[in-house]
Amino acid sequence: MAKQYDLIVIGAGPGGYTAALKAAEYGLHTAVIEEKKLGGNCVNRGCIPTKALLHASNRFKQMQQCDELGVSVDFISFDFKKMQQHKKRAVKTYRDEIRRLFDEAGIDYIEGKATIRRNRTVEVNNREGREYYQGKNIIIATGAMAVMPEIPGSNLPGVYTSSRLLAADTWNFDRLTIIGGGVIGVEFATIFNSLCSKVTIIEKGPHLLGPMDEVVAKELEKALRKKDITVYCNAEVSRIEDKDGLTCQVEVAGGESFSMKAGQILMAVGRKPNINGLLGDDMPLEMNQGKLAVNSEFMTSEPGVYAIGDVVSGIQLAHVAAAEGTYVVEKIAGRPHGIRLEVVPTGMYVSLPIVPNCIYTEPEIATVGITEEAARASGMKVRCGYFSMTENGKSIVTRKEEGFVRLVFESYSDTIVGAQIVCPRATDMIGEMATAIANGLTAGQLSMAMRAHPTYSEAISAAISDAMRQK
């Protein structure tokens, strides 16, 4: 007989483990099933390992530049294997902490490959054999996997996915070509550029970061090129060949083409939902453009079966999955929702996303709400406040003068509806703006708060003042 649970969570990434911990907090008998490692892609192959390498590589770059600050160092080098060991320690520490929280909360952690059967029964296959579990509710949080484009030569040695690149223990990346200029591509470009690799990004779209605001993307492109990173937009790799080393044939919009030595190649062209083998023949769920179809409550076409995170979302961010997991568990437990994914300000007819979008490049990029262009497209009249970081005291002191703060306010009410920040610590600063949008704060209300001097956050005050001068 199948073991019974109030909630079965399939996938132990940020969405899965957050949902499970919240369910246990509400007294729900909960199990989490994970095929690979506790923590999912984020902890093992994404957010945590990349940020660990970003931290290490940035330290190395800072030491290289310390002479201009009057600090002399005779010899600077890096040990890539030790950097990877630092990354592994961070991953293990994070994973151990999740397991400790599971144990304290009384959550059953089950390792194996899960397949959903009818009547919300889950079949789990592992080394011990086959077991069955039944849940009153099921949350699918299996995440996404890297897409390998059908480019001739993409299976050659030296062509990596992000997961394989993160697992490399030896340095062989003096020249790195990145196919794809999305979040994964630009973050890896930042890491390897800091480690003195000659980095080239090839992006088929008109600018980096896909759907990101073009002004933000262009600022990033300028910063990357200043660091000697080569960026080709409106360009595609048609084939990869091994000619005494990897070579890419690049096709540029308009008919131009050229061949370039590639060194090692990172495929960063996107990710797709990880649902292989998840659905049994007796449990067909509706799909929407390759993702699981859900309603506004994240329920699939099968009552009691929910899906969150990268298997459904267009925004593949760990904190989005975690917020969705919390939202679903609150619904299951009959609790009022304590977290919002979007808000409609009083007197407006536009839904504002309040989930921060953060990119850990140099400078960092963080956005929330809507852009000026999106606001005007929806018929909203807005005024924008802008401040360049070239005028910010902290930026001048730290020699980090790239970037800006741009805030978008609805014209009649002065309510903030969007923020785009490009500067050091932007990913920390954006939380204030998300809180402001969620609570419908106005420019006047935001201006009442002092921001310490000298800080990067002063740029927020300056952008608010700029908007208020336009009244």
Residue type, 437: I
Q: pLDDT averaged over consecutive 10-residue blocks of the chain (471 residues)? A: 91 94 97 92 84 88 80 82 91 94 96 93 89 95 86 91 87 93 91 94 91 85 92 94 90 88 90 88 87 91 93 78 92 88 77 87 92 89 95 91 94 94 95 94 94 95 94 73
CA dihedral 431, 436, 437, 441 (to 10 degrees): -170
Residues present in the chain in total: 471
Amino acid 464: pLDDT: 97
Let me know if 453 is a catalytic residue.
yes
CATH fourth-level superfamily of 343-468 = FAD/NAD-linked reductase, C-terminal dimerisation domain (3.30.390.30)
Q: How much is the pLDDT for 166?
A: 87
Q: Any idea where the domains of the chain sit in the sequence? A: 3-145+272-332, 159-269, 343-468
| Alpha-helical runs (H) found in 106-207 | 162-167, 183-194
Q: What pLDDT does 314 receive?
A: 65
The reported pLDDT for the residue numbered 394 is 93
CATH of domain 3-145+272-332: 3.50.50.60
| Residues 159-269, CATH architecture | 3-Layer(bba) Sandwich (3.50)
* Greatest extent of the chain over all pairs of C-alpha atoms, in Å: 72
Cα 421 from Cα 433, distance rounded (Å): 10
Asked whether this chain's domains 159-269 and 343-468 adopt the same fold, the reply is: no
Among 29, 55, 207, 453, the active-site one is 453
Closest C-alpha among 260, 216, 154, 263 to residue 422: 216
Angular region, 207: left φ>0, alpha ψ -120 to 50, beta rest: beta
